[in-house]
């Protein structure tokens, strides 16, 4: 089975006082990215509501892990949920993993 995408996950601590923190304590952002270009082709996260998950996904699809500034700008402009900083942190972890995968030629060590 051949894929043009690779799956990468990133975790971050959630802030106190939000429902997701009570359920999970950390957020996971899972991204499927085109291996060659870094363009995000699918995304999911462990937030509580389906609407929020879809909103995060819609922001991420089409963006690239090679340039995080537009992603951060979109979250700053459009996402006013309490988990914004945690989501951005988890995405940065995904970007670091992607960079490591590219530099090491498919080898990733967690």
Provide the residue-wise pLDDT of the chain in tens; the chain has 110 residues: 467 899 999 999 877 766 656 566 788 999 999 999 999 999 999 988 999 999 999 999 999 999 999 999 999 999 999 889 999 999 999 999 999 999 987 655 55
- 88: in domain: yes
The pLDDT of residue 110 is: 54
Q: Measuring CA to CA, which residue among 68, 66, 57 is closest to residue 31? A: 57
Work out how many domains the chain is built from and give that number: 1
The pLDDT of residue 106 is: 65
- 13: in domain: yes
Both tokens assigned to 23:
């359920």
- 43: in domain: yes
The parent domain of residue 25 ranges over: 5-104
- 109: in domain: no
- 110: in domain: no
Query: Which own/partner contact pairs does 46-49 have at CB distance under 8 Å and 24+ positions apart?
Result: 46/20, 47/20, 47/81, 47/83, 48/19, 48/20, 48/23
Q: What is the Cα–Cα distance from 39 to 68, expressed in whole angstroms?
A: 11
- 93: in domain: yes
The pLDDT of residue 85 is: 93
Q: What is the pTM of this model?
A: 0.86
Please report, for the domain that includes residue 74, its CATH number: 3.90.1010.10
The pLDDT of residue 1 is: 45
């Amino acid at each position: 089975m051949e894929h043009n995408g690779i799956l990468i996950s990133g975790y971050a601590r959630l802030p106190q006082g939000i429902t997701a923190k009570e359920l999970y304590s950390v957020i996971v952002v899972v991204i499927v990215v085109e291996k060659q270009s870094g363009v995000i082709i699918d995304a999911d996260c462990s937030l509580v509501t389906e609407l929020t998950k879809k909103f995060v996904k819609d922001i991420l699809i089409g963006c690239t892990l090679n340039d995080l500034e537009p992603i951060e700008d979109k979250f700053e402009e459009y996402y006013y949920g309490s988990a914004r900083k945690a989501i951005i942190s988890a995405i940065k972890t995904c970007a670091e993993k992607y960079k490591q995968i590219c530099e090491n030629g498919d080898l990733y060590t967690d």
